[in-house]
Amino acid sequence: MWITWKLLKQKVNNLMSRTNQLVLVRHGESEFNLKNLFCGWHDAPLSAGGLEEARILAAANLNEANMVFDKVYCSKLCRSRTTVEAILSEMQCSFLPIVSDWRLNERHYGNLTGINKRVLANQYGEEQVQFWRRNYDGLPPPINESNIYYYQIANNPAFLDVPPNEFPLTESMRMCVDRVAPIWLEIKKEVLMGTRILLVVHGTVARALIKHIEGFSEEQIEKVNIPNSVPIVYEFNMKSGQLVGDVKYLGDSQYIDKMKKKVAAIGD
């Protein structure tokens, strides 16, 4: 009887200690990243270097860590989808289902879209530009018809499923955090049911998700910087939903630190 109870208790403990992983990746360098332009909802493609990053950084590090996935989530923007396709090709699992959801689109940078960050800083000052970029409630001026990307964004067929009353003209970090909250709950539910998910998104959306995942304060998340194509691995207790152990950034730590500093800076 004692042995039976001991085995039963062990089985219960094993069930309660079961874990599952989620991997978060920011897309490879885009053409707008390369030119140091605000991008947001403009559908900029990956640069040649960005495509290479997806293969030799993201995919290679995921393969080295023996990561396996059942499903992939990305945004409606091609830089996110192309990164997914490159990663899955290198991992020889292009058959995986891919869900593209507009709620995972990058933060909308309003009328800053298409403007060089350094040029903007020279005009308005670095403090103002960093306020737009990093302050939790920093809200860029809304995009209008004078912006050369206005109609490309408004008429992008990839955004047809965006409800008209939810189509942004600009967004703060707070608004982005609120936008991703419902889809994060959907994804987390799948993770806790055992689905192994790869999530390929954008810089500010990755930060918004990290705020939900790690429970960061508004002040803490303002200081988080996410390099392109560096996988971030989270492990969850499937019973409690709590994080288990430390968050893992896959790749060379010196390179990752260098790229975090580059992301934080306004650039040239």
pLDDT in tens, the chain (268 residues): 444 554 445 444 544 569 999 999 999 999 999 999 999 999 999 999 999 999 999 999 999 999 999 999 999 999 999 999 999 999 999 999 999 999 999 999 999 999 999 999 999 999 999 999 999 999 999 999 999 999 999 999 999 999 999 999 999 999 999 999 999 999 999 999 999 999 999 999 999 999 999 999 999 999 999 999 999 999 999 999 999 999 999 999 999 999 999 999 988 7
Tell whether 131 is covered by a domain: yes
8 A C-beta contact, residue 108 and residue 138: no
Annotated binding site: 26-33, 79, 106-109, 117, 133-134
Please tell me the total count of domains within the chain: 1
Annotated binding site for substrate: 26-33, 79, 106-109, 117, 133-134
Displacement of CA 1 from its chain's centroid (Å): 51
Domain hosting 79: range is 18-264
Tell whether 11 is covered by a domain: no
Q: Residue 165 sits in a domain of what CATH number?
A: 3.40.50.1240
The residue from 42, 53, 106, 171 that is catalytic is 106
Tell whether 83 is covered by a domain: yes
The residue from 27, 53, 171, 202 that is catalytic is 27
Tell whether 9 is covered by a domain: no
Tell whether 79 is covered by a domain: yes
Termini Cα distance of the chain: 73
* Helix boundaries (H) for the chain: 2-16, 31-35, 48-53, 60-64, 78-90, 117-124, 126-134, 150-154, 173-192, 203-214, 218-222, 253-264
SS3 191: helix
Residue 153's nearest CA partner among 95, 239, 217, 145 is: 145
Tell whether 8 is covered by a domain: no
- 42 has catalytic annotation: no
- 171 has catalytic annotation: no
Tell whether 48 is covered by a domain: yes
